[in-house]
A and B are shown apart, each in its own frame.
Chain A
């Protein structure tokens, strides 16, 4: 059952995988922004995670260690941001932009000897018998573990932010750092940990690109995925399930437009290429429209540094 040369089952299965980097990075950034920090360095953390993950995987031969390496690399880079903004109270927007430029530069330098190498492969998680089932096989059972991890993290973050004390404290810190401080919470320490978490998630997202999606090291491998992740967080109103929706929508249209290009539809390539960006933003804007102010969920202290004065 193909439609104009496009098989919907394959399409859905592919979009779930292609959305993973953006989804993981956006989930991490959701936590960071919920804690009141605007880290625009997602792209930089992703690309460093992609390189770090690639190097570790190539040298150790283990893709799992590679993802761990990507997480550590992303978190380490984010700690530079954390130190600058939380300890030295530097401007978050400027520091975040610098982090992106720094990450792109460093990864380009560090990746010099790694062009053209193939990383160890990551296979599908479940046995072939399940993955070969019609329809549900490719969509539900045919993925590598990172895809399941990204969905699990969506659910986990939703639950943590909504129902646990940690989540409540994170939201409180992002909502009003003065009030949180007055109640005795260590605002900057909590934010620092959230930033490191966001860095680790972006790093895993980046490692997915270099280890599974592409899979090899290419300069500037992220190609703007970090920026899309940032946009999705905002338009998803800082809610994990909507982040998932946004990421899948973007991933889906990306895959669809590639398929359409291959199938040779009459639509010019330029329009197809811009479609994912346009449609994702349009849909999320419509979803978040009409609920201004309190309902759109922007953390009230977003982007503001906190310094405990008297």
Chain B
């Protein structure tokens, strides 16, 4: 099936100081085609679409839209020419309502009342119900994404760019999103779909362009390839599946009972009656759509949020009222999700960052002074064991790429010999090879008898590493169940289904 060509990208190159983000990238998208841009983090996908959307200008190369030259200098121009984008992060305003958020993304929005009516109409048409007067801060992740999609649809785009749209959705919501996207494609809208989730791309996309280190390494038709083939094209090497070393489940290492805390985060979710136990050698996977209490749970376990002493117990010792340092001493370490600012102090060196959480457990102080040579040795040990790509341990944490810093931070927590390890989003923004390595070390630590709690939004990851599985939904935790034998459908239902979404009922 040949389609008339909509967008053609030829020989695009974009370099930043020290890194070439895109080098001689060429591909084309036909009208009504769903085209995947596939690649690891840092492969240059985001830079590429930012150039198409006019946020970044290419150093060289040309783009044509329907045969005419296309070089948008700002997003407004791209929107005017019919290119719209749904962002992965950072483009909604929590304190504004839905209609205001939509208006901000439009060139000449109609008066608010009319806009609200149009939002209702379009959202009905595509089966994405939304109330225009609701505050975005109160919406679920899936609903927020609908705001972005509707913002784009109201401008009748020819090309819709979607940057990792499913990372925050439940499986049911993903299905509905795909139905909407297929409907749009049938109506002639081309979709540029960015992802690194291969199964999704196989199910949805007509064509795929695979990027690696800024270059196009392959173009293929996803339906005709296996996920593994595409993954290896993406990574450029054969992938190892993590191996599980079976350990006999030991006694309970972490016990949490009826833990309820208010959220300190604006628009956060309070935890309501959380109870679970994790035994030595067990990995508990906690799934859930972002914003359902994951951050709060991490804070409550790490000790940043305190509770009554017996609500949290480490090796039968009540630690609920202790802060992070005392909890580390008791044997519990935690790795938060936000790398720049929460898990690490971005402007401090890796050595200093290593000391910040490992000082207590690794005995890196002598008579109240920091043992710098010991700390440096520990940092170097992490760098070697986790293959952290850095010029040395003295560079600032900020200077490392997200994936590399994540490897360092995971290593820092996993190598402290703690008996309970809590991790939020262990492989967020990490490339597939490094993610496999991090998952392997999680399993290794469990094999050595540690109890782990892994909070993640990546279901495949949880199914790979977790022995038992629970879901956080609006601050409540479901009863943990053994991972073995769980189906995607059951997981979806545990996650609260599709949050009232309905399938598009638009005929035509």
Contacts and interface: CB of A to CB of B under 8 A. Distances in A.
A293 B263 CA distance: 10
A179 B91 contact: yes
Nearest to A186: B74
Interface in B70-111: 74-76, 79, 87, 89-96, 100, 103-105, 109
A75 B56 CA distance: 33
B296 to A, nearest CB: 14
A183 interface: yes
A89 to B, nearest CB: 15
Contact of A310 (B56, B76, B135): B56
A184 B155 CA distance: 16
Contacts of A182: 55, 75, 87, 90-91
Interface in A165-185: 165, 168-169, 171-172, 175-176, 178-180, 182-185
B465 to A, nearest CB: 32
B94 A184 contact: no
Contact of B95 (A165, A185, A300): A300
A24 to B, nearest CB: 26
Contacts of B50: 310
Given A171-B96, A184-B54, A294-B266, A176 B90 contact: yes
Contacts of A185: 104
B144 to A, nearest CB: 11
User: SS class of chain B's interface: helix, strand, loop or mixed?
Assistant: loop
Contacts of B74: 184
B300 to A, nearest CB: 18
Given A171-B96, A294-B137, A300 B266 contact: yes
Interface residues of B, number: 29
Given A172-B96, A175-B95, A293 B75 contact: no
Interface in A200-241: none
A27 B74 CA distance: 33
B16 interface: yes
**Size class of A's contact patch?**
20 to 34
Interface in B99-134: 100, 103-105, 109, 112
Nearest to A179: B91
A172 B136 CA distance: 12
B74 to A, nearest CB: 5
Interface string B260-302: 0000001100000000000000000000000000000000000
Contacts of A172: 93, 96, 100, 104
A310 to B, nearest CB: 7
A266 to B, nearest CB: 47
Contacts of A303: none
A299 B16 CA distance: 32
Contacts of A294: 94-95, 135, 137, 266-267
A310 B402 CA distance: 14
Contacts of A178: 89-91
A179 B93 contact: yes
28 contacts: A163-B112, A168-B96, A168-B100, A168-B103, A171-B93, A172-B104, A175-B94, A175-B96, A176-B92, A178-B90, A178-B91, A179-B90, A179-B92, A180-B93, A182-B55, A182-B87, A182-B91, A183-B75, A183-B91, A183-B105, A184-B79, A294-B95, A294-B137, A297-B95, A300-B95, A300-B266, A310-B16, A310-B47
Given A178-B91, A183-B104, 11 more contacts: A165-B109, A168-B96, A169-B104, A172-B96, A178-B90, A182-B87, A184-B55, A184-B79, A294-B95, A294-B137, A297-B95
